[in-house]
Amino acid sequence: MNILTNINLNKNELQNAVFQNLATAPLNPKEGQIYHNTTDHKLYRYDGTKWVDVGGDIPIATSSVLGGIKSSDDILIDGTTGVATLNKAIGDLQNYYLKTETYTQEEVDALIAELDLIDIEVVQTLPTTGSKNKFYFVPKTTNEAQNIYDEYVWTGSAFEHIGDT
């Protein structure tokens, strides 16, 4: 039976209804039209310009847009509080981020002490070879009140002049 006019259900329920089942979207849709796609098993609504999955496309969350984010097993997000927790060490921090609780100041100080720090050495002339993580300051031959050194670093095979102070 074709019904060619609107039906007013007077706020009564439409029970045991099934949306139109189609493998592709209907041609010449009208805004608000709904159909069930039998290929991807999703329900679609026509918004006046395009078919939209009624299940919704969740926007990417930003500071001003409420939405979803894509995560991995390495980051756990509590669905109630929204708090993210690292589940695994990341990249170069692998040897430093081994705990799930907060580090104490003493633990942070101990980790920093293990890092390679930069050293500065004032020399009259450059040595034959150098060391990594060290700046070599060589006095200039000019008599200036400032900019009295040329700075060099060891590249592994030669010294590289990087500036002057």
Q: What is the pLDDT along the chain (165 residues), one digit of tens a residue?
A: 788 888 888 988 888 889 999 999 999 999 999 999 999 999 999 999 999 888 866 777 777 777 777 666 666 677 677 676 666 544 545 454 555 667 777 877 777 777 667 788 899 999 999 988 888 888 888 777 777 888 888 888 999 888 876
- Please measure the distance between the N-terminal and C-terminal CA atoms of the chain and give it in whole angstroms: 92
Q: Which residues pair with 46 in a beta bridge?
A: 51
User: What Rg do the C-alpha atoms of the chain give, in angstroms?
Assistant: 34
Tokens of 51: 């078919």
The DSSP 8-state label assigned to residue 90 in this structure reads: -
Q: Where are the domains of the chain?
A: 21-53, 59-97, 119-164
